[in-house]
């Protein structure tokens, strides 16, 4: 069985799958405001394209075997930590009926970072980097079934 090692989430590294917002860095897409003992960061553009629903997933820890992935043809999906780093496994969008196992990559999302996946990006559920972890997601729900399917060349281990 092949394996992937998660890499840090960066805008350049994640560009084939979507975009990254770092809510701790003032920039063209993030605005920071400060008080005497607090720092606030928010995205200037809307997080996803549409009126999204907010969800929360409680997940076990990495490592894991990525046996199934899903994709959303009708919505973007944003993922962000509830407090502890999480690992996201993705495969490029495609017209194929299954993700390409050889193209699976994994990224570590740190607290304060947001990964926004483009439509049709294949992805597994996230896992906690250092133990079980909760994370939030935002997408438009109720647009139709998004079936989970096995990668075309078998499962892939994701090992931090």
pTM: 0.95
pLDDT along the chain (160 residues), means of 10: 96 98 93 94 94 97 98 97 97 94 98 97 98 98 92 94
Q: Residue holding tokens 């350049």?
A: 12
**pLDDT at residue 148, rounded to an integer:** 96
Sign of CA dihedral 108, 113, 117, 118: negative
Residues listed for the chain? 160
**pLDDT at residue 120, rounded to an integer:** 96
Strands (E), 10-84: 18-22, 30-34, 39-43, 53-59, 64-66, 77-81
The encoded tokens of residue 61 equal: 């820890």
**pLDDT at residue 154, rounded to an integer:** 87
**pLDDT at residue 95, rounded to an integer:** 84
**Across the strands, what pairs with 129?**
none
Q: Residue holding tokens 């133990």?
A: 131
């Amino acid at each position: 069985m092949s394996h992937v090692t998660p890499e840090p989430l960066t805008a350049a590294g994640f560009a084939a799958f979507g975009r990254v917002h770092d809510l701790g860095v003032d920039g063209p897409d993030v605005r920071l405001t400060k008080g005497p003992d607090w720092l606030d960061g928010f995205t200037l553009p809307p997080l996803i394209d549409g009126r999204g629903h907010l969800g929360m997933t409680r997940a076990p820890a990495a490592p894991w075997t990525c046996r199934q992935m899903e994709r959303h043809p009708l919505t973007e999906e944003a993922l962000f930590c509830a407090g502890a780093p999480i690992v996201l496994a993705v495969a490029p969008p495609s017209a194929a009926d299954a993700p390409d196992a050889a193209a699976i990559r994994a990224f570590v999302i740190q607290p304060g970072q947001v990964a926004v996946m483009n439509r049709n990006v294949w992805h597994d559920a996230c896992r906690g980097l250092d133990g079980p972890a909760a994370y939030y997601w935002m997408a438009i729900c109720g647009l139709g079934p998004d079936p989970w399917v096995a990668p075309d060349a078998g499962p892939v281990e994701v090992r931090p």
